């Protein structure tokens, strides 16, 4: 029953979120601020994780492909496919749900307990729309860009490890990352990322917006937001893969 109430509250909040902003100019300024906060500030973590994961993927594939009948270019191919199909969308989003999601929940939760949201409402501002919609739009814009960045850096990580360790000849690796390329897979990854962007920002905002109590409850909201986002990302990963790839 509580679960149904929670879902009802979520959709009720979303109905309030997706309404006309008070002033378009202020709204787009807020979107730009959120692009900076959510997207630009996440570049470093996505870059570091992607480069290392790409490098590790190449190494692991290389150690498992010892048979002379398996062509070496498959190291590049596997690295590329893993980055595109799963890592740069789902795994990156699981990481972002921790960074961005907890940040959003604690920011909005703190605003709630310090009456800043009440202050917005008293001024006649639709607080849900003002605070949450720019975050959703900013994440929908920036997360796909982060995916592309992650794919490129992951493949670059594999290249670097090939270059420095010699596990595969560079021409083989380059051939591997070009062969059997299916552009649709990149689109699939981007579509998944858009769904995850909406999940992370709206779920985290929801938990933050309905925080009650003090600092301890803000922490709990933040944790709940991350846990709920991760579970939903995994469920949607399965559903979207079924729908888009099979």
Partner 1 sequence: MIEIKSVYKTFADKIVLNNVSTVFEPGKVTMVIGRSGSGKTILLKSTIGLSSVDNGEILYNNRDFFKSNIKIQRKIREEMGMVFQGGALFTSATVQENVIFPLDLFTDWTKAEKLKRVNFCLNRVNIEDANNLYPGELSGGMQKRVAIARAIVLNPKYLFCDEPNSGLDPQTSIVIDKLIKELTLEYNMTTIVNTHDMNSVMGISDKIYFLYEGQIEWEGVSDDIFNSENQNLNDFVFASEFFRKAHSSGTINGRMVKQ
What is the rounded distance in angstroms from the CA atom of residue 179 to the CA atom of residue 167? Answer: 19
Residue 120 or 140 having the CB closest to partner 1? 120
Which residues make up the interface to partner 1 (CB under 8 A)?
Answer: 22-23, 26, 110, 114-116, 118-119, 121-126
Residue 126 or 224 having the CB closest to partner 1? 126
Residue 125 or 240 having the CB closest to partner 1? 125
- Min CB(112)–partner 1 separation in Å: 11
- Min CB(122)–partner 1 separation in Å: 4
Q: Minimal CA–CA distance to 120: which of 110, 109, 131?
A: 131
Residue 30 or 80 having the CB closest to partner 1? 30
- Min CB(110)–partner 1 separation in Å: 8
Residues counted in the chain: 246
- Min CB(14)–partner 1 separation in Å: 16
Q: Long-range pairs for 178-182 at CB < 8 Å and ≥24 separation?
A: 179/73, 179/76, 179/77, 180/77, 181/80
- Min CB(118)–partner 1 separation in Å: 6
DSSP codes, 138-149: HHHHHHHHHHHH
Query: Degrees (nearest 5) of the Cα angle 51, 53, 58?
Result: 100
Residue 114 or 165 having the CB closest to partner 1? 114
Joined tokens for residue 232: 């939903």
- Min CB(23)–partner 1 separation in Å: 6
72 DSSP assignment? T
**CB atoms near residue 133 (< 10 Å):** 24
Phi-psi category of 64—alpha, beta or left, where left has phi over 0 and alpha has psi -120 to 50? alpha
Residue 37 or 157 having the CB closest to partner 1? 37
Q: Minimal CA–CA distance to 234: which of 136, 105, 137, 97?
A: 97
φ and ψ at residue 71, rounded to 5 degrees: -65, 145
């Amino acid at each position: 029953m509580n679960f149904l109430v929670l879902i009802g509250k979520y959709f009720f909040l979303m109905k309030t979120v997706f309404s006309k902003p008070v002033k378009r100019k202020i709204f787009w300024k807020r979107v730009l601020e959120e692009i900076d906060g959510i997207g630009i500030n996440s570049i470093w973590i996505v870059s570091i994780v992607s480069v290392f994961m790409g490098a590790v993927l190449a190494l692991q594939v290389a150690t498992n492909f010892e048979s002379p009948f398996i062509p070496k270019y498959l190291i590049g191919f596997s690295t590329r496919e893993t980055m595109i199909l799963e890592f740069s969308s789902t795994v990156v989003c699981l990481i972002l749900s921790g960074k961005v999601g907890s940040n959003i929940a604690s920011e909005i939760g703190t605003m709630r307990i310090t009456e800043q949201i009440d202050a917005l409402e008293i001024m006649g501002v639709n607080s849900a729309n003002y605070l949450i919609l720019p975050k959703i739009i900013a994440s929908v814009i920036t997360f796909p860009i982060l995916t592309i960045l992650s794919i490129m850096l992951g493949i670059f990580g594999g290249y670097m490890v090939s270059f420095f360790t010699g596990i595969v000849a560079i021409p083989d690796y380059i051939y591997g990352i070009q062969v059997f390329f299916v552009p649709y897979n990149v689109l699939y990854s981007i579509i998944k990322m858009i769904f995850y962007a909406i999940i992370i920002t709206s779920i985290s905002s929801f938990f933050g917006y309905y925080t009650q109590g003090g600092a301890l409850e803000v922490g709990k909201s933040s944790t709940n937001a991350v846990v709920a986002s991760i579970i939903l990302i995994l469920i949607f990963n399965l559903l979207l893969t079924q729908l888009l790839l099979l």
